[in-house]
Amino acid sequence: MLFSSARSAALSAGLGRRAASTIALKYSNAVFSAALNKSPQVLNKVQAELNAIQSAVKSNPELRTFIQNPTLSVREREAGLPAIYAAAGKEASEITKNLFVVLSENGRLVETEGVIEGFNELVAGYKGELNVTITSAAPLPKDIQTKLESLLKQSQAAQQAKSLKITNKINPAVLGGVVVDFGDKTIDLSVASRVNKLNNLLSQSV
């Protein structure tokens, strides 16, 4: 079965990017492999569906409550799956449906966010994309963001990637610092630090 590895394996939040649990990453790998084994086109379709579900979970309080409620019975979780499929688009793929059937059966719907984030990282790696998230307490001033982007583009990781996507994420808990996530690396530094400290840390990290 496509998700046998995730099923058998299925017996927390940082200041920067959410760290997916080990369990979530097993599901991410399972759905990525299943989609890619079909075709790159199917991989793109599944990614679009999962991102649509992710957006719906964030914007729809009822769907978010359903996903995050670990006390639901098997029957209640099964009854709620059509709402997830509807969020994926007109006709959700069998791979996407199978993923959520397995998450539901194993009581792991709460891992949905981590599964999707892990899946997107795998797709980015497959496509040669480098996604960089700069987390700050407030939107970065334009000049600071421009300097950070310039330094990031000079890094070895960015130069090896086919494309670079930089996102500024807002998290008030950062309290005056910035957290830079790229690939499997995280750099935590202070806004008050000289910006070139980022370049030095990147050189040591790649």
Q: What is the pLDDT of residues 49-80, one digit of tens each?
A: 999 999 999 999 999 999 999 899 999 999 99
Closest by CA position to 201, among listed 165, 188, 132:
188
Quick one: which H or E segment has residue 112?
helix 112-127
Q: Do 109 and 67 touch, CB atoms closer than 8 A?
A: yes
Residue 5, pLDDT score: 40
Reported as a pLDDT band with limits 50, 70 and 90, residue 18 is low
Closest by CA position to 180, among listed 140, 142, 143:
140
Residue 194, pLDDT score: 41
Mean per-residue pLDDT of the chain: 81
Residue 127, pLDDT score: 85
Reported as a pLDDT band with limits 50, 70 and 90, residue 184 is low
The beta strands (E) that lie in the chain are given as 129-136, 163-170, 177-182, 185-190
Sheet holding 163-170, edge to edge: 163-170, 129-136, 177-182, 185-190
Residue 10, pLDDT score: 38
**Chain centre to alpha carbon of residue 58:** 13
Reported as a pLDDT band with limits 50, 70 and 90, residue 197 is low
List, for residues 156-171, the tens digit of each pLDDT value: 777 777 777 788 888 8
List, for residues 86-120, the tens digit of each pLDDT value: 999 888 999 999 999 999 999 999 999 999 989 99
Residue 8, pLDDT score: 40
Using the predicted structure, report yes or no on whether residue 181 has a pLDDT greater than 60.
yes
The beta strands (E) that lie in 58-194 are given as 129-136, 163-170, 177-182, 185-190
Using the predicted structure, report yes or no on whether residue 191 has a pLDDT greater than 60.
no
